[in-house]
């Protein structure tokens, strides 16, 4: 009780500081809630959104007070104005780009200057409310005769400590619904929703600084090492029957969400899971030993591998971490050959940082969620269903200059594999894993969507002059479901060997007018860039990379997975053990040894190219 008067005196003395915290907090929350379109559902997410601004506000105030301790009121005013400015710019930026500001964007003038042109159109009177607290504070400070109340070092330490505790609490709460949010960043919208725009700006700046430091420390000597290695590999001996076979045709590159090879040519209750694909592969080049090589970046990793002929990173999504690097990419090279490269995908454009990375990689246009008519009726699970996605994509494709290189990314067959009753086209499988049972249904739906799409393409007269490349992006059924998978595959149990084999995803290259055949060649997504370029009649593959033309007469039977496992014609290496194919028996590691060096070099040098942004030196050499 005897502390009460002390507390009261303390509160009165620091009233302005508390008032500032409250006002900045409130305006930040309200801006996040009502100006950004953040998908908040349920009280828990609402609570996270409400509390997440406090830690960053305390840090800003603490630091500002530490710098101008004898002018504490001015320090408070500066923070209030600065937070208002950041919110203001973020609101305008969000309205224009549907995305949040990062330091890279703030420092790179191109995007902000785009904004400058339409600033008047974007402004709303309510935007200025973010400066009301600064005005109130200014009046209060002006009216009082003082410019400062003593803020001790202890106060400042207390504020920063509170901020750290609050931020940790914030992350703990988020971890319950989004594990590894920061290390496995996949969507800026979701990160901002969970930690707030200020914290995001700081985290992104720190991560970017660490990445930049690595890039700066890399030199052209590193490039020489990698170059020597890559150039020492045997050159592709091209198959003259395949080279230029699809020259001048439009390219449809279709990413089939989570489709693994085990569903193809397979029946349940006497019904095919992928009837359309099963028919298509009869008239196509079908690669039945093709592996996905993705890591944390899942779909985006697959896209990265195909477009750059580099491996994704051992941790994090390269689409997020290295979207500012220089890349020799498939879209850029195709553009030089007169192609128009585009991407079509019915999800948010910020997901996997696609909006930024696609610019870097050289796409001319990205049709994302905002370009599609997405309603509750035509959506399920992650968003727009595959059939309406393909249907709406058709109208967009017809407006494109030809020849085009169009990547279409499907979505319905995404975990947790939800489907509306009317889209269930196969009886439900009856394993103990609900996930596997639902997966089979959604794969069947995606197969149907592909059938419709091909029909529409034929009707639009686009079919004959096109080439179609369909690939599974990564696994959909994780190790967790191994019991049900073993039962599905008619095995007693699944071994590490089987697990690697389950990383096979379908690759179908369909060239209308060409019969095609089954291609049993051990290969991976990394091989697609040279394959596509050669099919289109481009003989040089620009940039350093690790793939080989799938039709090359000397194609090495080799695929490296991102976890370090690898597959050769006769062996599989995983978890430091060597297995013989096809039996899966463990065998002497000496058999795998000759390929192990190659696997290590591939991953090590690919990482080196990305971490050191080595292509910039190569581009410099060439210019």
List residues near ligand GP9 by CB under 6 A.
298-299, 347, 351, 409, 411, 414
Residue 347's binding partner among ligand GP9, Mn ion, none (Cβ under 5 to 8 angstroms by kind) is ligand GP9
Q: What are phi and psi of 536, to 5 degrees?
A: -90, 5
Residue 386's binding partner among ligand GP9, Mn ion, none (Cβ under 5 to 8 angstroms by kind) is none
The C-alpha atoms of residue 100 and residue 90 are separated, in whole angstroms, by 6
Which CB, 52 or 258, lies closer to ligand GP9? 258
Task: Name which of residues 181 to 210 contact Mn ion (CB under 5 A).
Answer: none
Report in angstroms how near the CB of residue 474 gets to ligand GP9 at its nearest. Answer: 7
Size of the residue set binding Mn ion (CB under 5 A):
4
Output the CA torsion sign for 603, 604, 608, 611.
positive
Residue 351's binding partner among ligand GP9, Mn ion, none (Cβ under 5 to 8 angstroms by kind) is ligand GP9
DSSP per residue, 480-527: GGHHHHHHHHT-S---HHHHHHTTB--EEEE-TT----EE---EEGGG
Which CB, 56 or 379, lies closer to ligand GP9? 379
Which two three-digit tokens encode residue 118? 């339409």
Report in angstroms how near the CB of residue 450 gets to ligand GP9 at its nearest. Answer: 17
Which CB, 77 or 411, lies closer to ligand GP9? 411
The C-alpha atoms of residue 344 and residue 346 are separated, in whole angstroms, by 7
Residue 451's binding partner among ligand GP9, Mn ion, none (Cβ under 5 to 8 angstroms by kind) is none
Report in angstroms how near the CB of residue 297 gets to Mn ion at its nearest. Answer: 10
Residue 409's binding partner among Mn ion, ligand GP9, none (Cβ under 5 to 8 angstroms by kind) is ligand GP9
Which CB, 262 or 595, lies closer to ligand GP9? 262
The C-alpha atoms of residue 66 and residue 194 are separated, in whole angstroms, by 28
Which CB, 409 or 450, lies closer to ligand GP9? 409
Residues 436 and 488 sit within 8 Å (Cβ to Cβ)? yes
Q: 3-state secondary structure string, 59-107?
A: HHHHHHHHHCHHHHHHHHHHHHHHHHHHHHHHHHHHHHHCCCCCHHHHH
By CB neighbour count within 10 A (0-12 exposed, 13-18 middle, 19+ buried), where does 316 fall?
A: buried
Residue 495's binding partner among ligand GP9, Mn ion, none (Cβ under 5 to 8 angstroms by kind) is none
Which CB, 347 or 568, lies closer to ligand GP9? 347
Report in angstroms how near the CB of residue 298 gets to ligand GP9 at its nearest. Answer: 3
- C-alpha dihedral (453, 457, 463, 468), degrees to nearest 10: -30
Report in angstroms how near the CB of residue 555 gets to Mn ion at its nearest. Answer: 26
What Å distances lie between residue 466 and 238, 245, 485, 535, CA to CA? 21, 11, 37, 12
Residue 307's binding partner among Mn ion, ligand GP9, none (Cβ under 5 to 8 angstroms by kind) is none
Which CB, 155 or 298, lies closer to ligand GP9? 298
Report in angstroms how near the CB of residue 543 gets to ligand GP9 at its nearest. Answer: 24
Report in angstroms how near the CB of residue 366 gets to ligand GP9 at its nearest. Answer: 12
- The b/e string for 524-545 (b: 16+ C-beta within 10 A; e otherwise) is bbbbbbbbbbbbbebeebbbbb
Residue 448's binding partner among Mn ion, ligand GP9, none (Cβ under 5 to 8 angstroms by kind) is none
Displacement of CA 21 from its chain's centroid (Å): 35
The site map against Mn ion for 283-302 (x = CB under 5 A) is ---------------xx---
What is the crossing angle of helices 197-217 and 15-34, to 10°? 80
Active-site residue, 435 included:
no
Report in angstroms how near the CB of residue 372 gets to ligand GP9 at its nearest. Answer: 13
Which CB, 411 or 443, lies closer to ligand GP9? 411
The C-alpha atoms of residue 267 and residue 447 are separated, in whole angstroms, by 14
523 binds Mn ion (CB under 5 A): no
Instruction: Give the DSSP letter of residue 261.
Output: G
Selected from 473, 527, 549, 613, the binder of Mn ion by CB under 5 A is 473
Residues 616 and 326 sit within 8 Å (Cβ to Cβ)? yes
Task: Name which of residues 299 to 358 contact Mn ion (CB under 5 A).
Answer: 299
Query: How many CB atoms are located within 10 Å of the residue 204 CB?
Result: 21
Q: Spot the catalytic one: 299, 321, 442, 495.
A: 299
Residues 312 and 297 sit within 8 Å (Cβ to Cβ)? yes
**CA angle (56, 59, 62) in 5-degree steps:** 150
The C-alpha atoms of residue 339 and residue 341 are separated, in whole angstroms, by 6
Task: Name which of residues 219 to 258 contact Mn ion (CB under 5 A).
Answer: 257
* Catalytic residue ranges: 299
Q: For binding to Mn ion (CB under 5 A), which residues are involved?
A: 257, 298-299, 473
């Amino acid at each position: 009780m005897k502390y009460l008067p002390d507390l009261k005196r303390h509160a009165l003395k620091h009233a302005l500081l508390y008032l500032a915290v409250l006002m900045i907090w409130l305006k930040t929350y309200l801006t996040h809630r009502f100006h950004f379109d953040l998908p908040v559902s349920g009280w828990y997410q609402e609570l996270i959104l409400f509390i997440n601004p406090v830690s960053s506000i305390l840090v800003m105030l603490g630091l500002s007070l530490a710098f101008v301790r004898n002018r504490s009121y001015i320090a408070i005013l500066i923070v209030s104005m600065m937070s208002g400015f950041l919110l203001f710019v973020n609101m305008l930026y969000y309205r224009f780009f549907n995305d949040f500001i990062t330091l890279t964007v703030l420092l790179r003038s191109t995007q902000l200057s785009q904004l400058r042109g339409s600033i008047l159109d974007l402004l709303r009177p309510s935007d200025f409310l973010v400066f009301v607290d600064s005005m109130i504070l200014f009046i209060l400070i002006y009216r009082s005769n003082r410019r400062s109340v003593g803020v001790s070092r202890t106060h400042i330490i207390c504020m920063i400590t509170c901020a750290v505790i609050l931020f940790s609490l914030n992350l703990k709460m988020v971890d319950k619904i989004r594990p590894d949010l920061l290390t496995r960043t996949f969507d800026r919208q979701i990160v901002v929703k969970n930690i707030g725009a200020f914290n995001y700006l700081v985290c992104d700046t720190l991560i970017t600084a660490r990445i930049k430091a690595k890039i700066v420390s890399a030199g052209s000597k590193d490039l020489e090492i990698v170059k020597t290695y890559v150039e020492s590999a045997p050159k592709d001996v091209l198959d003259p029957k395949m080279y230029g076979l699809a020259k001048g045709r439009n390219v449809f590159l279709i990413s089939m969400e989570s489709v693994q090879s085990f569903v193809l040519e397979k029946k349940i209750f006497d019904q095919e899971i992928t009837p359309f694909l099963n028919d298509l592969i009869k008239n196509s080049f079908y690669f039945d030993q093709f592996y996905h090589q993705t890591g944390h970046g899942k779909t985006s990793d697959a896209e990265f591998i195909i477009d750059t002929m580099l491996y994704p990173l051992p941790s994090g999504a390269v689409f997020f971490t290295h979207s500012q690097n220089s890349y020799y990419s498939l879209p850029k090279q195709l553009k030089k050959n007169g192609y128009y490269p585009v991407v079509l995908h019915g999800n948010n454009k910020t997901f996997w940082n696609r909006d930024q990375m696609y610019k870097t990689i050289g796409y001319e246009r990205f049709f994302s969620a905002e370009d599609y008519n997405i309603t509750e009726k035509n959506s399920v699970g992650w968003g727009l269903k595959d059939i309406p996605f393909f249907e709406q994509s058709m109208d967009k494709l017809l407006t494109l200059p030809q020849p085009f290189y169009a990547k279409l990314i499907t979505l319905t067959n995404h975990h947790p594999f939800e489907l509306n009753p009317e889209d269930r086209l196969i009886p439900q499988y009856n394993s103990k894993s609900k996930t596997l049972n639902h997966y089979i249904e959604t794969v069947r739906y995606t197969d149907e969507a592909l059938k419709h799409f091909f029909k529409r393409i034929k009707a639009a007269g686009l079919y004959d002059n096109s080439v179609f490349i369909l690939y599974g992006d990564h696994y959909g059924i994780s190790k967790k479901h191994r019991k049900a998978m073993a039962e599905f595959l008619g095995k007693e149990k699944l071994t590490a060997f089987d697990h690697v084999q389950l990383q096979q995803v379908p690759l179908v290259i369909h060239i209308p007018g060409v019969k095609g055949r089954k291609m049993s060649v051990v290969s991976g997504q990394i091989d697609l860039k040279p394959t596509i370029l050669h099919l289109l009649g481009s003989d040089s593959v620009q940039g350093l990379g690790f793939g080989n033309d799938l039709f090359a007469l000397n194609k090495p039977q080799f695929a490296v997975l991102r976890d370090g496992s690898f597959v050769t014609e006769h062996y599989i290496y995983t978890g430091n053990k060597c297995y013989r194919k096809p039996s899966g028996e463990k065998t002497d590691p000496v058999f795998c040894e000759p390929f192990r060096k190659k696997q290590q070099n591939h991953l090590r040098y690919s990482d080196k190219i990305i971490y050191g942004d080595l292509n910039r030196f190569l581009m410099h050499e060439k210019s």
